[in-house]
Amino acid sequence: MEEKHKQISPFLVFFLVHSVQMGVGVLGFQRTIMKSAGNDAWMAVIAAGILMNAIIMVMYLLLNKQQKDLIDIHKDLFGKWIGGIFSLIWIIHWLMIGLIALRSYIEIVQVWVFPLINIIMFSIIILSLVYYTVTGGFRVVAGISFLGVVIPFYIFLTFFFPIEYANFRNLLPIWNHSVKELSVATKDMMLGYLGFSTLLMYYPYIKNPKKSQKWAHLGNFLTLGIYLFILIITIAFFSEEQVSKQIWATLSMWKIVELPFVERFEYIGITSWILIILPNVCLSVWAATKGVQKMFNFKPQKVILFTLLILLCSTVAIQGRESIEKLNQYMSILGLFLIFLYVPFLTILSFFITKIRKEKSGNG
């Protein structure tokens, strides 16, 4: 457990879990899942959310038992070297979450706001924000996660505008897709929920961590609610064919928002979205750097700088829609593997090993 003044209240886990799940995914998840599940895609959103809740439960089983972060658990169970390799895989996973959030956001800015934007300059500016946050310690990272949920919340009010033109009959007929189609959509939807695995790193920073479990679940449910809300409006607002042509259906819906003092709301929406992206990148970078720092005992600031440099190089290196899509695929495969196979495996293993150790010490 960490020192007391560095710890945060358990209910902030609600914002930490939710903020890292919300990212660029919300702006364009509709096309991927509606490709296979059509107007029944909302079931996939719910199914994926509930599955994630199950995983959160498993994580808490593991963490409540061990009372330390993932790196220490690895070291404890597998020793320094093998544990280190497993930790490294997780660190890469977290870095990829941050990278995808950052790169996709830059892509959206490029496509929607500034086609000629200087990617290097823009990434440097955002990454310097990340640096400023992460060097402030976990308290500041948790703070920006909280503010990144609370301040941009007004954006979701604007989704009431498309309701005026919505046709909710699009939702009917329910259940006209097979279970197989739905499960494919559920798998695709999972990508939108990834990232909460950073919980494995910040668990020691929570006061009374056992109490935080319900907040983690609630945070996940808020994500589910937002996805569901936006998806239902999308289904009602667009026809299926239209959605298949929209990479960012959410942004397209903003086009019809019209206020007496402002038109073309998507500009404001996209710029406000930076406050939603920032916690996402900050938290994953924080988890990754914390992991590296614990494994190798380097100075925190150097690790952060080095990590951000890697992120910068990768953002500049990844160009074009296809490579971003490919990165998304790799990342979702790795993420699903880690969450659905590795976390339960680790939990069971830790239970067995602690039991065996107890018996041994009891005999000896």
Partner 1 sequence: MRTWRHRRRLTKGIEKENDKDESIESLFQQLNASNDFNVITCQFEKCSLSIGYFSTLIDSEILHRDVLPFLKGLDVISSLPTLLPIEEVILTSDTSIIKDNLLKGYTLIFDVNNLNQFGLVKSDVDKTRQVSLPEVEFSVVGPKESFVESLDTNINLVRKRLPIPEFVVKELTVGKLSKTRVSVLYIQGIANKENVSTVIQRLSDLDFDQITDSSIITQLIQDNQNSPFPQLIDSERPDRIASAIGEGKIAILVDGAPHGLIGPTTIFEFFSAFEDYFLNWLVASFFRLVRFFAVLFSILATPIYVAVLTYHYELIPKDMVATLVTSRSAIPLPPILEALVLELAIELLREAGARLPTKVGQTIGIVGGIVIGTASVEAGLTSNVLLIIVALAALASFTTPVYQMGNTIRLIRFPFLLMAHYMGFLGVAISFCYLLIHLLRLTSLGRPFLEPFYPPRVQDFKDSLIRLPFSLQSKRPIQEQTEDTMRYSASKAKKNVDP
Site track 200-239 with partner 1 (rule: CB under 8 A), x = hit? ----------------------------------------
Residue of 58, 76, 122, 218 that binds partner 1 (CB under 8 A)? 122
- Residue 258 as a binder of partner 1 (CB under 8 A): the answer is yes
Residue 101, token pair as written in the block: 């959030």
3-state SS, residue 23: coil
CA dihedral 235, 229, 96, 32 (to 10 degrees): -10
- Residue 136 as a binder of partner 1 (CB under 8 A): the answer is yes
Site size toward partner 1 (CB under 8 A) is 35
CB of 311 to partner 1, least distance (A): 17
Residue of 109, 166, 216, 346 that binds partner 1 (CB under 8 A)? 109
Residue of 129, 312, 324, 336 that binds partner 1 (CB under 8 A)? 129
- Residues in region 10-69 near partner 1 by CB under 8 A: 12
DSSP 8-state class, residue 172? P
Identify whether the C-beta of residue 6 lies closer than 8 Å to the C-beta of residue 300.
no
40 alpha-carbon distance from chain centroid: 24
From 4-12, 22-30, 61-69, 295-303, span contacting partner 1 (CB under 8 A) = 4-12
Angle between helices 41-66 and 179-190 (to 10 degrees): 50
129 alpha-carbon distance from chain centroid: 19
Count of CA atoms in the C-beta half-sphere (13 A) of 16: 31
- Residue 343 as a binder of partner 1 (CB under 8 A): the answer is no
- Residue 138 as a binder of partner 1 (CB under 8 A): the answer is no
Angle at 26 between CA 20 and CA 28, to 5 degrees: 135
- Residue 268 as a binder of partner 1 (CB under 8 A): the answer is yes
- Residue 126 as a binder of partner 1 (CB under 8 A): the answer is yes
Residue 319, token pair as written in the block: 């160009």
Q: What is the DSSP string of 121-150?
A: HHHHHHHHHHHHHHTT-HHHHHHHHHHHHH
CB of 260 to partner 1, least distance (A): 7
Binding site for partner 1 (CB under 8 A): 8-9, 12, 109, 113-114, 117, 122, 125-126, 129, 132-133, 136, 139-140, 143-144, 146-147, 151, 258-264, 267-268, 271-272, 274-275, 278
